[in-house]
A and B are shown apart, each in its own frame.
Chain A
């Protein structure tokens, strides 16, 4: 027997004045969010919009900057002009940062040029997109279905809504918005779904005759082990529908698969886990392209310095690529065109490739703005977002005269910045889960110079003399390592290494001094770093046994602001940067001058 009262308009309104969302009300009443929304709409319970005017409405304000509240008087008037709503990126977090603010601002600007009235919705006060003179109208509101639909209730003549420039945030609500009658501009949601759904995308790649790493999906540990064995270890595990590689892991055996399911029980509960063949030591490539569903413009091909397995947001990117064969580059372009046309992409498309043993594989495709777009634009000078936004609004690629990024005559390098000093005891090796907070760029005529500039910008600089400390794992005790360390010897560095690595180097003709590991005695490597005796650390991950050592060395390197390099390929590029710095030539050049080149 329920003694409860029947819900009234008054009680809902009172809850709204106290900030309760439809979803909270649905939870409290044991019903759905849609039901609450229907009730509100039927009973005309809508927020009104007030203006942020600096003067508490004492003077008339000319600036359309608004927020919602549940009161009587609505201050917002909708014009008759055709409007496009752009959803912003929401709060910054790792994996979703300033790049998407950049994309949104450029998108708004382009759509204004096309004559549309632009409406921005965002809730992040740090951004340019929430500056009141960027858009025609700014709503400082949460990016939820409820808040967006409330705004649409007042705005007339909406051509559509743009969800593909603000990162993951707007995409999360795009389906719900579409179900509620809003038109999503750009690539159709059916095709976005094909790109996001493993199985559908796999089928598409098969039909386009494009190679992909073997994969499977599973909901539990037992079936995952089965699939992993069938594909062959190592495999990459990740919960579906996460951004920034949250909880992604590379596993080498059954036990590690089982551990993954124990550790990530929460994440795997609702969504299946994706299992991919991990292409060890493959080269990774990122492509950003624009498509109008008929033609494709490749805006940039970026080669990662680090091998596959490190999140693309954490790796160092080079534009244009420096060591991908011509044949592979042609394949990459062809595949990009095939995928873009098959998905009838309208707007931006980012594809990640891996090249191993001369085979080009497609890892994933995302028909939306990627985090590398600003880097591509700054390097090439092509306003990629602007072109994409105008295509979304109806223009064709052939209306733009776009230059080819391959003829640049200079090179851009993007490096990532990590917040490790804020999180003591965290492991500092890079992996498939993104952890960088930001990025810097070096731009120059040569790779060495661009690399040197990027490194200088990270704050730890590039030492030109002194000692390097080397400790590599068993897999890395091979010819490649010798070649790289030799570069440092030639640059005049002394080599200090742990016993195992030192033995390996000495056997291969590189003289090195042996130093104690942290637990072997003193003075050990950490003491040497503290004493300013070591200028660069090259330490490739050794596995769980020596984790303590790695932590101690990494932490000391971060504290002493000396470069801490964890992959051989990065060590190799780093040496090229040092070689450039040693020439003593520093040149600065404005972007405007580069673009004139």
Chain B
């Protein structure tokens, strides 16, 4: 299909200030989208309140508004610029929320503006828990069991049916404040009571816990002719329970066999079709039970996301740019792949390397009396990330660790270890096994430095099973780390004295 000619001016909504969970990945996607649409001859109007962005440089869009991203101000801009369409899928949750607000206040209708990239119905279906669950049921996919409850007795019934652990999320609290995971009745009672109090609507969502399950994300795109491509499959090194933004992630997925992968791929296609994202990219998250293989759809973002920025960089496939072109009517087979220039965008990227992302935290800026403040959980805490390439997982892991600028030069053995190689290997047996138990116990709680403690555990002689039991990290990954440790041991058999003069 040719591009739409009934549209002349398009308004793009940016993502506003950098906050934890919404960083400069949306400057990247937004800038790409503006350029792509201008290239097609559209007049592009941009709103973003963040002056540090590249997209707000006056040369990027045709008209650039550094104004608050609220319906009040956007309406003024619409009134002035009269765009025929708004592209709300480039500015993260901020832009989607703003677009929905414009719809609900009747502003879109009043000025006859159309949402492109994702329609109101699709956004609502993806964002409303109930509608999303109904949609998933309709296409035969499972979601985590859960329920909104208003009092403790209701909660108790649910707990009896489902069993522990259970996740408690109070409604409408900032960043999941007051939520948590209950492993027993006592904790459950405390958390539900506290959650009910914390929630302004006195409502709590309780959900079956998928902690310890494997987590995957599929970055997918779909066009108006129902062409569908998977751009990238990303696997979380850290199991469910740690926010994706706080997880080490790997692309392509490393521990799925082809059959399992095809199951996720088919599911992803069904999800995007059912939710109805007709022209653009989405991010779909799955949890897979490592023992039974049971697949649960966690959520879907009908927009570009942090993961799509990562997927773009990992594969070379410019998701935001292509999404912008799909939004104005092109189909995947009509858009050439920028990198090869010869293949169309409906070719799924193939990668012959491993890409790793490691988050960067800044806990020391927020020292507090709370000893749990650096524990990783369902609420994202990292402030940035690095990515690295390697021909194997080990190379990529060590490169990523030295990219972080935390003073580390790889996975240990860099003079910055809490326990040095010599110390750990020379410990007496009893001391070693005591330390091993202490480390294994520490590893049960996800923290930002656990990756280094996995190495310490190995150097104290912990087995793969023991570490897996503490961390629930897939043994394939643990095996890779083991290989790094073995390499290190081997290196210690060598010396350089002879040729040093």
Contacts and interface: CB of A to CB of B under 8 A. Distances in A.
Given A20-B487, A102-B53, A142-B403, A90 B386 contact: yes
Given A20-B491, A50-B353, A60-B340, A439 B50 contact: yes
Interface stretch (B18-26, B128-136, B185-193, B438-446): B18-26
B500 interface: yes
Contact of A97 (B24, B76, B77, B370): B24
Given A61-B339, A92-B383, A590-B65, A55 B349 contact: yes
A91 B338 contact: no
B360 A92 contact: yes
Interface in A367-384: 371, 374-375, 377-379, 381
Contact of A91 (B70, B173, B386, B394): B386
A376 to B, nearest CB: 9
B342 interface: yes
Contact of B495 (A6, A18, A244, A587): A6
A500 interface: no
Interface string A433-476: 11101111111000000000100111100000000000000000
B388 to A, nearest CB: 6
17 contacts: A6-B496, A7-B496, A23-B409, A30-B495, A50-B391, A53-B340, A98-B27, A106-B54, A125-B385, A126-B309, A127-B24, A439-B50, A441-B49, A443-B66, A456-B73, A586-B76, A588-B73
Contact of A98 (B53, B73, B175, B484): B53
Contacts of B388: 67, 123, 140-142
**Chain A residues touching B, range:** 35 or more
A18 B483 contact: yes
B106 interface: no
A97 to B, nearest CB: 6
A501 to B, nearest CB: 26
Interface in A73-112: 90-94, 97-99, 101-102, 105-106
Contact of B177 (A50, A62, A130, A424): A424
A53 B339 CA distance: 6
A62 B316 CA distance: 11
A68 B353 CA distance: 11
Contacts, number: 395
A414 B51 contact: yes
A97 B73 CA distance: 27
B410 interface: yes
Contact of B67 (A58, A59, A102, A588): A588
B76 A587 contact: yes
Given A28-B492, A91-B405, A125-B314, A458 B17 contact: yes
Given A27-B414, A57-B352, 10 more contacts: A14-B490, A24-B398, A54-B315, A55-B347, A98-B23, A140-B388, A419-B383, A424-B373, A437-B19, A590-B64
A128 B496 contact: no
Interface string B299-330: 00000001001100111111000000000000
B21 to A, nearest CB: 8
A132 B500 CA distance: 42
Interface residues of B, number: 120
Interface of B: 16-20, 23-25, 27-28, 31-32, 45, 49-54, 56-58, 62-70, 72-73, 76-77, 80, 173-175, 177, 306, 309-310, 313-318, 337-343, 347, 349-353, 357, 360, 362, 364-370, 373, 379-381, 383-392, 394-400, 402-405, 409-415, 421, 483-484, 487-488, 490-500
B410 to A, nearest CB: 5
Contacts of B496: 6-7, 29-31, 35, 39
A441 B340 contact: no
B69 to A, nearest CB: 7
A425 B368 contact: yes
Nearest to A559: B174
Contact of B52 (A8, A23, A58, A375): A375
B230 to A, nearest CB: 13
Contacts of A14: 487, 490
A439 B77 contact: no
A5 interface: yes
A124 B493 contact: no
A105 B59 CA distance: 13
Contact of A67 (B17, B353, B392, B492): B353
Interface string A40-69: 000000000010111111111111010111
